[in-house]
Amino acid sequence: MSRFVRSKLLVQKYGGSSVATPEHIRNVADRIIACQAEARHMVVAVSAMGKTTDQLIGMANQVSRHPAGREMDQLLACGETIAVSLLSLALQDRGVPAVSLTAAQCGIRTDGSFNKARIANVETGRLVHELESGRVVIVAGFQGVTSDHEVTTLGRGGGDITGAALAAALQAPVCEICTDVDGVYTADPNAVEGARMVPELSYEEAIELAASGAKVLHPRAAEICMQYDVPIHVRSTFHRRQGTWIRGGVMENAAVVGITSDKKIAKVTLLEVRDEPGLAAAIFRDLAREDVNVRLIIQAAPSHDRNRITFVTDNDQVDRIEELARTWRKKKIVGEVQVDLDVAKIAIVGSRIASTPGLAARMFTALAKVGVNIDCISTSEMKVSCVITRSDLDNAVRAVHGEFFGTARPAAPRATTPTRRPSTSRPARKVAAKPATTASKRRSAR
């Protein structure tokens, strides 16, 4: 038995690309052993291997037209369960006592919202017991369990949330997010070659970057760590150099800390909306009831007692919107509903965006110089975002990144396999995101 001492605890999370193959898993086991030299206790959250979650979703789509809900979570959680068992086996094979735990075994309690559950609390009893017994605790990321013993998942990329929740519940001195890039960059380093790593970010900057498309960290993970005052260290799985620290008390970063992009959006335009009090309320109440995530709303000034309302949402929510559109048309609330999937969003993010004049103008000028037309604009305290045509996105990101951070060229391919020695290997290259199957369609919902 070794008494649990919080200050000697290291919580790490390894993402899917870090455990993509058995060779990757052996390397992660070696890395954990190397980290044990500095930490007495280790709790490690792990994602499903490589593209396992996508493959499971693909299979579900082959047997069901709308796979969702309980069975989907039951299925998707399996990916993480496989990964934790393998990592625990690899550690035991190296003579290191380790135990793998599912979310249910670990006590990660969530609400009952399948596919997007939120963590209510993490019971630390079993975790502390295992740590005091001298075991490395390997926890399945992304999973949760309800008070009725149902398995839930936290939403795509939710492994980060598990890592953060474990670190917060155990009051760990740090939550390490170990991934396939060296840290948080000024733009996706796999898309923009000139992107630079940012050594330090405030929680707010990290949340805004993550929420507007920087996939390297889940915004809810940063929110949890901000709430519980746990610093996050986003770093590479493949070497031990410092990455990006996210913590409180960061004084003055540049006004713009990063450029983000998001291809998984849809633009919805409601034409000929009756200009009457309460109709916008009814429309957005319907959207909220259907759990449609609305991210930007623009209403044009009315003409002939009719309004035009445009909003941006996630591209996987258009089926629900089209369903609602039918009822709105039937009730004569709107004339026509257009859904545009041929769009993408680009944003500049920083904590001093609102207080620094001229940033939006610089962004728009950079876009104009490369002939990119802006469809919609929205601004907030910490970001300026523009909806543009999807095929313009790569060009737009390079141009805007060049304006704020210097010249950038398309990224060159990188190695995908780690070497046996974590300290010398290169980060694996992320395969460029595939366009959504529904992309480049413009359609009118009838």
For residues 189 and 398, give the distance between their C-alpha atoms in angstroms, rounded to a whole number: 11
Burial of 177 (0-12, 13-18, 19+ CB in 10 A): buried
- 31-90 binders of ligand ADP (CB under 6 A): 47
Shortest CB 365 distance to ligand ADP, Å:
23
Q: Say which entry of ligand ADP, Mg ion, ligand ASP, none residue 142 contacts (CB below 5 to 8 A, set by partner kind).
A: ligand ASP
Structure tokens at 75: 């299925």
Closest residue (Cβ) to ligand ADP?
Answer: 15
Which of 27, 152, 179, 269 contacts ligand ADP by CB under 6 A? 179
Looking at residues 416 to 435 of the shown chain, list those that interact with ligand ADP (rule: CB under 6 A).
Answer: 430
Query: CA-to-CA distance for 343 and 338, rounded, in angstroms?
Result: 13
Cβ at position 329, least distance to ligand ADP in Å: 38
CA 331 from centre of chain = 37
- Based on the shown chain and the rule CB under 6 A, indicate whether residue 226 belongs to the binding site for ligand ADP: no
Scanning residues 238 to 267, which ones bind ligand ADP (CB under 6 A)?
258
Angstrom distances, CA of residue 119 to CA of 143, 145, 154, 164, 280: 10, 9, 8, 11, 32
Q: Which does 196 bind (CB under 5 to 8 A by kind): Mg ion, ligand ADP, ligand ASP, none?
A: none
Told to check if 163 binds ligand ASP by CB under 6 A, we report no
HSE-up of residue 35 (Cα within 13 Å, Cβ side): 26
Q: How many residues belong to the chain?
A: 446
Nearer to ligand ADP, 16 or 402 (CB): 16
Classify residue 375 by its DSSP letter.
-
Piece in contact with ligand ASP (CB under 6 A), picked from 154-162, 273-281, 309-317, 351-359: 154-162
Q: How far apart are CA 345 and CA 266, in angstroms?
A: 10
Return d(Cα 371, Cα 252) in angstroms, integer.
Answer: 33
First to last CA, the chain: 67
Max intra-chain CA distance, the chain: 77
**Residue 205 binds which entry of ligand ASP, Mg ion, ligand ADP, none, with Cβ cut-offs from 5 to 8 Å by kind?**
none
Closer to ligand ASP by Cβ: residue 81 or 146: 81
Q: Does 157 bind Mg ion (CB under 5 A)?
A: yes
Nearer to Mg ion by C-beta: 194 or 219?
219
Residues in contact with Mg ion by CB under 5 A are: 15, 157
Residues in contact with ligand ADP by CB under 6 A are: 15-18, 47, 157, 159, 179-181, 184-185, 187-190, 214-216, 258, 430
